Amino acid sequence: MTEIKKASREGGVGTQQIERVSKRFYGTVHLNPMRMASEAGTIGQEIVQHMQALLGSDVEVTLEITAKNPDGFPPNVIRTVTENARTLKFENIGFEEE
């Protein structure tokens, strides 16, 4: 709570408490690729479900994947991952040279 000073009609100064309300949540978490399904399910149950249940809530969940390979990704993996990402309607995909 935050206290604000407010002048009274009698000329004195009093305090009034105003409760601040949190209106936005954000969070980032790293998932273990070997337990991704389990960890994502837990996040859905323990975090997302509570916010989604509130009337008027607008909840968005984004999955971001980054991968590096010191030897580079072979062409067949690049092709498969690119095709699968497009089929799964990824918004942004790409492979880069460092």
Q: What is the pLDDT of residue 70?
A: 96
Q: Residue 23: what pLDDT?
A: 93
* Residue 19 confidence (pLDDT): 87
Torsion angles phi and psi, residue 33, rounded to 5? -55, -25
- Record the pTM: 0.70
Q: What is the pLDDT of residue 71?
A: 96
2, 18 Cβ separation under 8 angstroms: yes
Q: Cα angle vertex 20, ends 18, 23, to 5°? A: 150
Mean pLDDT by 10 residues, the chain (98 residues): 62 75 94 96 97 95 95 97 97 93
